[in-house]
Amino acid sequence: MPGQLGSCHCGTVRFRITAEIVELTTCDCSLCVKKNALMTKVHESELEILSGAEALRSYRWNTHRAQHFFCGECGIYTFHRKRAAPDHYGVNVLCLDGFDRSAIPVRAAEGIGMTVTDPTPREEWPGPRAPTV
């Protein structure tokens, strides 16, 4: 099957994406800034975990809709299920084997203004606060 192979740093988590990569994104939300990822958006049918699914750990915050996946061995962020498009993943292209990102346009996604709904948000989490009930 054609596609682009990828993995975490230690190689425990291996995956393939079959989507054509036409755009890369950065995000300025508090989490993406700290993990410093460069992502591409792929439909869930275009991401296949080849090995290491049992080693994946997830992190959810705020609305708990987005699910960020990291290798439990080396800690590398590989991909996340998107908050705004839950049937898509944001894949960290820096984990793709031999991927040349130089010719792909990069779009800055605005995540800093996403509403914070967590009942006990950290001050460091920017964005408007949703009213609490």
CATH number, domain 4-109, options 3.40.50.1000, 2.170.150.70, 3.40.50.300, 3.10.520.10: 2.170.150.70
Where are the chain's structural domains? 4-109
Structure token pair of residue 30: 């508090």
Q: Which residues of the chain have pLDDT under 70?
A: 1, 112-115, 122, 125-129, 131-133
Rounded distance between C-alpha atoms, residue 19 and residue 24, angstroms: 12
Within 10 angstroms of residue 34's Cβ, the number of other Cβ atoms is 10
Structure token pair of residue 126: 């920017």
Provide the 8-state DSSP code for 93. Answer: G
The pLDDT tens digits of the residues spanning 6-17 come to 999 999 999 999
Provide the 8-state DSSP code for 9. Answer: S
